[in-house]
């Protein structure tokens, strides 16, 4: 059965515990993307660069980011999940970058119920090398497409949580019924 992603709430404890719908599992080079019309996952492309996603990657439903899409999220996982998997994720940071001139921030989280991440509350728990891998991935993954992303770097858990709230608010505002002529 196909459920439209926007029938799923943005989280269980917004803005700090969110629902991440995974499009691309950690370790994959194929860029899967949800098809907004049908709710099916489609293969957008095989990355031109020979690199793979450093974590499970997807979006938070019922959010609207500054680039016009749902807010992106990267989830640090011990084992990749699968395309279409819903992960209840605790926000512990924010990765800031620009793509095509728009802010294209990635919320960063860990699975809320994973005991190996139970103590993770902010970026100080994360191995610094993992943070460098993420920076390198998002800084280079479009290079062989002749396209450059602009990396701004890591920000705090508070910044990630604020970005979730802003994107939930933006979604609500955007989908408010408008009174004709008002
Ligand atoms: Mg985006």
Give me the pLDDT at residue 114, please.
97
182 is a domain residue = no
pLDDT at 2: 60
CA distances from 67 to 72, 79, 109 (A): 10, 29, 20
pTM tops 0.85: yes
Is residue 149, in this structure, part of any structural domain at all?
yes
pLDDT in tens, 27-44: 999 999 999 899 999 999
In a domain, 9, yes or no: yes
C-alpha of residue 56 to centroid of ligand 1, in Å: 15
**Is residue 179, in this structure, part of any structural domain at all?**
no
Residue 181 resides in a domain: no
pLDDT tens digits along 104-117:
999 999 999 999 99
The CATH number for 145's domain is 3.90.80.10
Give the Å distance between the CA of 67 and the centre of ligand 1: 6
* For range 99-103, the mean pLDDT: 91
Q: How far is the CA of 182 from the centre of ligand 1 (A)?
A: 32
* Residue 44 burial (CB count, 10 A): 14
Q: How far is the CA of 31 from the centre of ligand 1 (A)?
A: 13
Total domains in the chain come to 1
Count of helix runs (H) and strand runs (E) in the chain: 2, 10
* Domain range enclosing 54: 5-173
């Amino acid at each position: 059965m196909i459920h439209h992603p926007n029938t799923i709430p943005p989280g269980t404890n917004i803005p700090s515990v969110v629902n991440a719908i995974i499009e691309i599992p950690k370790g994959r080079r194929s860029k899967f993307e949800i098809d907004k019309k049908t709710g099916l996952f489609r293969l957008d492309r095989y990355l031109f660069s020979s690199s793979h996603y450093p974590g499970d990657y997807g979006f938070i439903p019922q959010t609207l980011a500054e680039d016009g899409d749902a807010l992106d999220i990267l989830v640090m996982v011990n084992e990749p999940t699968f395309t279409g998997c819903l992960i209840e994720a605790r926000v512990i940071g924010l990765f800031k970058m620009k793509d095509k001139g728009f802010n294209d921030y990635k919320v960063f989280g860990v699975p809320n119920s994973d005991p190996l991440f139970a103590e993770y509350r902010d970026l100080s728990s994360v191995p610094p090398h993992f943070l460098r891998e993420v920076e390198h991935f998002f800084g280079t993954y479009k290079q062989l497409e002749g396209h450059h992303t602009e990396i701004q770097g890591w920000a705090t858990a508070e910044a990630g949580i604020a970005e979730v709230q802003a994107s939930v608010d933006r979604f609500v505002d955007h989908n408010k019924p408008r009174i004709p002529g008002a």
